[in-house]
């Protein structure tokens, strides 16, 4: 598939982006462009608990992957059933 795959039905674009991470080879995040909604599983469970004081390797991989993909999520939905704003996570970069 390469680093990304975009799907477009003429109304909405959805992307799947492979991100390097310490959890699993070939892990992808999803992104619905017009909704600015990302989808992630296993490396972050958005909204399932408080964020740490600094990025751990999995969260750092997500922040790096978002930047590399050139996407701008406002929120992330998680594969384990929760949702959270992305900005507080991204703000931990460099701490």
What is the spatial distance between Cα 93 and Cα 95, in angstroms, rounded to a whole number? Answer: 6
At residue 81 the predicted structure's pLDDT band, cuts being 50, 70 and 90, is confident
What pLDDT score does 86 carry?
98
The domains located in the chain, with CATH, are 4-90 (3.60.15.10)
What values do phi and psi take at 55, rounded to 5?
-65, 135
What pLDDT score does 68 carry?
95
Q: Which residue has the higher pLDDT, 95 or 55?
A: 55
Q: What is the per-residue pLDDT across 29-68, written as a single tens digit (0 to 9) for each?
A: 999 999 999 999 999 999 999 999 999 999 999 999 999 9
């Amino acid at each position: 598939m390469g680093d990304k795959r975009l799907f477009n039905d003429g109304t909405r674009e959805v992307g799947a982006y492979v991100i390097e991470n310490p959890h699993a080879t070939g892990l992808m995040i999803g992104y619905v462009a017009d909704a600015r909604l990302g989808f992630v599983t296993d490396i972050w469970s958005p909204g399932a608990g408080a964020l740490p004081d600094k990025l751990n390797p999995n969260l750092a991989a997500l922040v790096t992957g978002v930047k590399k993909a050139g996407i701008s999520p406002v929120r992330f939905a998680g594969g384990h059933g929760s949702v959270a704003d992305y900005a507080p996570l991204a703000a931990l970069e460099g701490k």
